[in-house]
Amino acid sequence: MDDGRHVRQRLVAGFGGGAQDCLRASSVLIAGCGALGCLIADQVVRAGVGRVVIVDRDIVEPSNLQRQSLFATADLGVPKALAARARLEAVDPTVRIEAWVDSIDRESIEDYIADMDLVFDGFDAMEPRYLLNDVCVRDRVPWVYCAAIATQARAMLVQPDGPCLRCVWPDPPPSGALGTCDTAGVLGSTVAIAAGASVSLGLPVLAGGKPGAPALISVDTADGSWRSISVSRDPACPCCGHRRFDWLEGAWGAGTAVLCGRNAVQIRPAVESLLDEAGWLQRLAQAGSFAAGQGLVRGSLDPSLTSGLPLELTVFVDGRAVVHGTSDPAVAATVCARVLGG
Ligand SMILES: [Zn+2]
């Protein structure tokens, strides 16, 4: 919309001249519309990106409202993608907003990134980021890694010929090694730092500018550290070096199985856990009431983490998890992503 709304942005070096037209001609994917996705989508729509595609499988819950800035109380129970679209269309009706209530997985991801100029990572777990890295490296689509947990924020632009996620972290962390927003918590202000860094890295790409040297932005507001860590391409990288797309092609990340007749779904982690029973008990302390014994930890999940469903969770010390009380793999995967990460 040329009603003067971008006049301040045009004054900034790199955003004058034809840059606004470049933004208007761009398509971006917001992969996940939780706290990060909300803030990123809001900023790219306001910046004048022409087409914004939002994909998210969840509905708005009360615990989201602390930091998921596109949602209000009236949106509770509404799919996040649809609530986000409604809000963003009100912000700028000339931006084409597409919303899909869907999981981004091996089957769907290629369709979603097919005609994208840039992908923003709004995921809440590491595994889908490896899948996104695979498909973006293979298809030469730039993407921005973005993560926030507790007081830590991170962001990194992955360019087609630059270092990729697996140059920095060849493998995802072992199951349970990292907390999740549902177990370790997150500050809204931390999310804002991560999202702001991501958009700052991604927008110049869309505006036709030249990105800076590859770097991982890493901030911890608890100890006041703000770092830009130089990263470089690893010739031995399995993904961009050896062109092995383990997540996309199925060697990894295919660990979900419905346990027939048991109303339960098993999720096998990509990387085995290093935690013992005590470690898992501590990890799950905020997720419900759990007890350990015989190589596993078992208990009832807090209903606030399960959309009210009465679900039980068993985690074996190797990280294998069984969600009891559902036979829907998507429900089990959502719960495990929230509670276990990965
Ligand atoms: Zn790489």
Give the model confidence (pLDDT) of 186-201 as tens digits. 899 999 999 999 999 9
Ligand 1 centroid – CA 50 distance (Å): 30
Residue 22 has pLDDT above 60, yes or no: yes
pLDDT computed for residue 256 by the predictor: 67
Q: Comparing 65-69, 84-88, 162-166, 328-332, which segment has the lowest mean pLDDT?
A: 328-332
Ligand 1 centroid – CA 165 distance (Å): 6
Residues 87-107: b if buried by 16+ CB within 10 A, e if exposed = bbeeebeebebebbebbbbbe
Ligand 1 centroid – CA 134 distance (Å): 9
pLDDT computed for residue 170 by the predictor: 92
Ligand 1 centroid – CA 282 distance (Å): 34
Ligand 1 centroid – CA 235 distance (Å): 8
pLDDT band at 339 (very low <50, low <70, confident <90, very high): confident
pLDDT band at 172 (very low <50, low <70, confident <90, very high): confident
Please give the C-alpha separations between residue 115 and each of 18, 63, 162, in angstroms, as whole numbers. 21, 34, 20
- Average pLDDT for residues 294-315, to the nearest whole number? 89
Rounded to the nearest 10 degrees, the angle between the axes of helix 80-91 and helix 35-47 is: 30
Give how far the C-alpha of residue 138 lies from the chain's centroid of Cα atoms, to the nearest Å.
19
Quick: pLDDT tens for 136-163: 999 999 999 999 999 999 999 999 999 9
Q: Which amino acid is at 71?
A: F
Residue 341 has pLDDT above 90, yes or no: no
Ligand 1 centroid – CA 151 distance (Å): 27
Residue 252 has pLDDT above 80, yes or no: no
Ligand 1 centroid – CA 162 distance (Å): 8
- Average pLDDT for residues 274-278, to the nearest whole number? 87
